[in-house]
Copies of this chain bind each other. A is one copy, B any other.
Amino acid sequence: MATIKDIAKAAGVSVTTVSRALNGYGDVNEKTRKHIEETAKKLNYSPNAVARSLVMNKSRTIGLLVSELNRSGAKDMFTYEVMCGINDAASDVGYDLILFSTNTVKQKQKSYTQLCRERQVEGVIMQGIKKDDPYIKEVIDSNIPCVFVDVELEGDNVGFVTTDNVFGAQMAVKHLINLGHRHIAMVNGHDKAEVSQKRLKGYMKELQEAELPVKEDYVLNGGFLESKAESAAYNFLKTNRQVTAVFCASDLMALGVMRAARRLELNIPEDLSIVGFDDIVLSQYTSPPLTTIGQDKYQMGYEAAKLLTSMLTGKKSPHKKAVLDNQLLLRETTAPPK
């Protein structure tokens, strides 16, 4: 608990000099700097970041706000992997991460902006948030720098990182078309999610380019839930035997569809081809392993943090967004139709 004062006293100089010596300023004699550094080490000094934050008005902290940090996120490791990326990128440039838990109860009594301002975070990364979440407006109104994951918003202090969801969906559908499928359904997430909209767009675009009809009732609502996707797919496939392939907006929903297929005694991939989206860990372990569109989740987090810190250090980067590629991972749930 040695402070800068203790060092000053021990080294026989003023606190000013200690501060300037330790922070590498030029106007302190090399000999006294050495001396100060030695006594600092001897006293086992470590600077008090809180005091520093107070006077500098900078906390070197970025807030991490994930809408649902809970067990349900355990299946798709999305949140976790993104977090790893954020963590690495942030620590590279000496920023620490503070976790804002945001259950709706708390949200009532303390607004998001308040949380940020209290803790004096310099910027925020928001993840897993829906497009109509009130938080979004709040963060934009406050002028705290922010980058979103998978919400395409850009502004003075706002950026985002995402993957090319439209093209990803196109790849998935194109793959099915190339295999010979003509009746391709889609199980989508909820329409408030930006990624859902994009993936639907890609689905439709690719069908149009192949001059296949786009049928509205071929698009099912799976709500990003395994169970909901299962029941939706079950009901649909039962009465639509002409459909030979399903594109799912998430791997988790693809698992649900696989389950539905099993209940209907449809063999995968002989009777039904399935393509997912995300490449969650599980998808390699299903039987058969799931063909899917892979996103580099770690990289998304890494880019998000890099984007934010570059915004903070005032580097006027012209682009406030990063769109990553994703790729088709061929596994065993797709085959030509019978």
Within 289-316 of A, Cβ neighbours of B (below 8 Å) are at 298
Using CB atoms, name the residue of chain B closest to A85. Answer: B71
Using CB atoms, name the residue of chain B closest to A77. Answer: B74
Is the CB of A6 closer than 8 A to any CB of chain B?
no
Q: In the docked arrangement, what's the CA distance between A71 and B84, Å?
A: 7
Asked whether, in the complex, the Cβ of B69 is within 8 Å of the Cβ of A73, the reply is: no
Residues of B within 8 A of A59 (CB): 50
- Spot the interface stretch: A97-105, A171-179, A185-193: A97-105
Is the CB of A106 closer than 8 A to any CB of chain B?
yes
Is the CB of A91 closer than 8 A to any CB of chain B?
yes
Within 98-128 of A, Cβ neighbours of B (below 8 Å) are at 98-101, 103, 106, 113-114, 117-120
Asked whether, in the complex, the Cβ of A119 is within 8 Å of the Cβ of B81, the reply is: no
CB distance from A267 to the nearest CB of B (A): 14
CB distance from A251 to the nearest CB of B (A): 11
CB distance from A317 to the nearest CB of B (A): 24
Asked whether, in the complex, the Cβ of B54 is within 8 Å of the Cβ of A50, the reply is: yes
Asked whether, in the complex, the Cβ of A50 is within 8 Å of the Cβ of B53, the reply is: yes
Q: In the docked arrangement, what's the CA distance between A208 and B143, Å?
A: 66
Using CB atoms, name the residue of chain B closest to A52. Answer: B118
Residues of B within 8 A of A194 (CB): none
Using CB atoms, name the residue of chain B closest to A86. Answer: B99
Asked whether, in the complex, the Cβ of A75 is within 8 Å of the Cβ of B281, the reply is: yes
Within 69-99 of A, Cβ neighbours of B (below 8 Å) are at 69-71, 73-75, 77, 79-81, 83-84, 87-88, 90-91, 96-99
Is the CB of A47 closer than 8 A to any CB of chain B?
yes
Asked whether, in the complex, the Cβ of B98 is within 8 Å of the Cβ of A46, the reply is: no
Contacting A119 at CB < 8 Å: which of B49, B69, B71, B79?
A: B49
Contacting A285 at CB < 8 Å: which of B47, B74, B285?
A: B285
Contacting A118 at CB < 8 Å: which of B46, B79, B285?
A: B46
Q: In the docked arrangement, what's the CA distance between A75 and B80, Å?
A: 10
Contacting A101 at CB < 8 Å: which of B70, B88, B103?
A: B88
Contacting A54 at CB < 8 Å: which of B51, B70, B73?
A: B51
Asked whether, in the complex, the Cβ of A48 is within 8 Å of the Cβ of B80, the reply is: no
CB distance from A94 to the nearest CB of B (A): 10
Residues of B within 8 A of A23 (CB): none
Chain A residues in the interface with B (C-beta under 8 A): 1, 46-51, 53-54, 59, 61, 64, 69-71, 73-75, 77, 79-81, 83-84, 87-88, 90-91, 96-101, 103, 106, 113-114, 117-120, 255, 281-282, 285-287, 298
6 A-B pairs closest in CB distance = A91-B101, A97-B99, A287-B287, A80-B80, A49-B118, A46-B114
The 15 listed contacts between A and B (C-beta, < 8 Å) are A49-B118, A49-B119, A50-B50, A50-B120, A61-B98, A69-B87, A70-B84, A73-B80, A74-B77, A79-B80, A87-B101, A91-B106, A96-B98, A97-B98, A282-B285
